[in-house]
Amino acid sequence: MSYIENMFSNQGKVALVTGSGSGMGVAFAHALAKSGAKVICAARRLDKVQQVADEINAAGGTAAALALDIGDTESVTNVFNCAEEVFGTVDILVNNAGQIQFKPFPDIDDEEWINLLNVNLTGTMRMAREFSKRLIALDKAGSIINVTSVTGMQTLKNVPCYGSVKAALNQLTKQIAADLFDTKIRCNAIAPGYFMTEMVDWYFETEQGQAEVARLPSKRIGDVKELEGALLLLSSQASSFINGAVLPVDYGHSVLLA
């Protein structure tokens, strides 16, 4: 293995990717498996993550599928227990699970607001907290990677709840890193721009969505595979001195909005 390959290798590590039944999570799970990690694919729909795990195993990687609802504390605890039984202690946590909402501010109701908070922010906190407790008890190193958004860095219309929650997640990332400075755990975030996934593809087919794409510096939507480099950087030894960072992967989208 060359020096570069070794730096970005996750050989011997166990990675847990939430929301890995679709979209970015699928790409993350495959990339981590290719870098040598044993991957736990986790999401609410077990059939979806089982399919991803089967694909990874068929390609020569190592993966298993577990059901997970990050909105439920017991489910979070259970997924780490099961992951340890299958592959051992989780070394890499990718907090990718989340929901999006396109709605003008005056039209948001309390239930929608609370649900988005519980999944996108509190759910991520639950996962990072359980992950951290277990590694601290073992005095073991680990990497937390939160998936935030360009909408948490700059204001965009019609995503007031989603953008606010992602901004809070950016701050939570920094706070987790600061509070864990005395441990061997690092916490960073990837802030994607516009990427084509099942969750938002319908939007970019609308007139408003097409207008948004036309304004982008890239003039196109990102391919989820273009997130893999940032993921492998933050998960591996290559980022051993990167902590508390929020890395935009948006071809300058956030710069344009600044």
* pLDDT tens, per residue, the chain with 258 residues: 788 778 999 999 999 999 999 999 999 999 999 999 999 999 999 999 999 999 999 999 999 999 999 999 999 999 999 999 999 999 999 999 988 777 788 888 898 889 889 989 999 999 999 999 999 999 999 999 999 988 888 777 777 788 889 999 999 999 999 999 999 999 999 999 888 777 667 777 788 778 877 887 888 888 999 999 999 999 999 999 999 999 999 888 877 765
Instruction: Record the tokens describing residue 20, joined without a space.
Output: 């890995």
Q: What is the pLDDT of residue 83?
A: 98
Phi, psi of 71 (to 5 degrees): -80, 0
- The hierarchical CATH code for the domain 3-194+223-257 is 3.40.50.720
Query: Which are the contacts of 211, defined by CB distance < 8 A and separation ≥ 6?
Result: none
- Catalytic amino acids? 162
Q: What is the pLDDT of residue 253?
A: 80
β 14-18/92-95 pair status: parallel
Q: Helix H segments across the chain? A: 3-7, 23-34, 46-58, 73-86, 110-116, 123-138, 160-179, 207-215, 228-235, 253-257
Of 178, 32, 16, 170, nearest to 96 by C-alpha is: 16
Distance CA 221, CA 213 (A): 7
DSSP 189-232: EEEE-SB--TTTTTGGGSHHHHHHHHHSTTSSPBPGGGGHHHHH
Q: What is the pLDDT of residue 257?
A: 63
Q: Could you tell me the pTM of the whole model?
A: 0.94
Q: What is the pLDDT of residue 258?
A: 57
Q: What is the pLDDT of residue 226?
A: 95
Radius of gyration of the chain (CA): 18
Q: Under DSSP, is residue 244 helix (H, G, I), strand (E, B) or coil?
A: coil
Distance of CA 106 to the CA centre of its chain: 29
Phi, psi of 139 (to 5 degrees): 55, 50
Helix axes 123-138, 73-86, angle to 10 degrees: 40
Distance CA 145, CA 246 (A): 10
Q: How many CA atoms lie within 13 A of 221 on its CB side?
A: 16
Instruction: Record the tokens describing residue 89, joined without a space.
Output: 């202690």
Q: Is 96 exposed, middle or buried (0-12, 13-18, 19+ CB in 10 A)?
A: buried
Q: Under DSSP, is residue 105 helix (H, G, I), strand (E, B) or coil?
A: helix
Distance CA 136, CA 79 (A): 18
Residue type, 109: D
Q: Under DSSP, is residue 252 helix (H, G, I), strand (E, B) or coil?
A: coil
